[in-house]
Amino acid sequence: MTFGQKSFTPTPPEKGSFPLDRTGVCRKFMVAYMTCLNENDQLNDKCRDVAQTYFQCRMENGLMAKEDWDKLGYSDSSNSNADKIPEQK
């Protein structure tokens, strides 16, 4: 440490941990979201529906705590994309 330098105190995330998808269960949804971002100059508002399907996959597979769509910022769609998720094989 340098004299006068403030020490950094890390704080945990507000919602807890976000486990890695080590088995790749939701990989195709993640790739679809990343592709959407690349095609839209990194503007995430144009990829909201793709992100919602990714979150839905994570919640269904225990990689994310189940939350209401309102709390995740999807109050306007209220689970409209949940029907579009194909079954996992």
Q: What is the pLDDT of residues 71-87, one digit of tens each?
A: 888 887 644 444 445 44
Mean pLDDT in residue range 54-65: 91
Query: Is 5 a member of any domain?
Result: no
Model confidence pLDDT, tens digit, residues 11-52: 766 666 677 888 999 999 999 999 999 999 999 999 999 999
Cβ-Cβ contacts under 8 Å for 87 (sequence gap 6 or more): none
- Are 47 and 36 in contact by the 8 Å Cβ rule? The answer is yes
Based on the structure, what is the number of domains in the chain?
1
Query: Is 14 a member of any domain?
Result: no
Query: Is 20 a member of any domain?
Result: no
- How many other CB atoms are found less than 10 A from the CB of residue 32? 15
In terms of residue numbers, what domain contains 50?
27-84
